Amino acid sequence: MGDFILYGDNREFARLDHLFVHTLDTDYSRRVFLKITPVDATSQERDPVLDIAILRLSREQDVEGEGVAAVKALSIIGLPALWADRLYIIPVTRGAKGQVRLGGDDLLYVNWMVEFL
């Protein structure tokens, strides 16, 4: 848990929070579902040193029809929505003077081949 994935037809970023299995009563078949936190990839911010995109976890989402941003929508997807791409995303916190610390809601998306570092 805590890994980052691509999902959906638009190949959107998300953090994997939980994984669970549902068993159908009729035929006892099992289905795997993922609880995710979407990532807001619309920011144009870039890290000045690495020149890579700075993304942000979407903490609050509008529930359709509610219009209240404080209400979190539950994001659950099934395995068919999941893409198999490897993502290198590092959660960070940015300070006022440009310092970067590990952990937080800001995300550094390393979009080059990490094997070459």
* pLDDT over 50 at 68, yes or no: no
The pLDDT, as a whole number, for residue 35 is: 92
Q: Whole-model pTM above 0.75?
A: no
The pLDDT, as a whole number, for residue 70 is: 40
Across residues 5-13, what is the average pLDDT?
90
With a pLDDT cut of 90, the percent of the chain lying above it is: 12
Question: 3-state DSSP call for residue 102?
Answer: strand
pLDDT category of residue 1 using cuts at 50, 70 and 90: low
Longest dimension (CA), the chain: 59
* CA 28/CA 4 separation, integer angstroms: 30
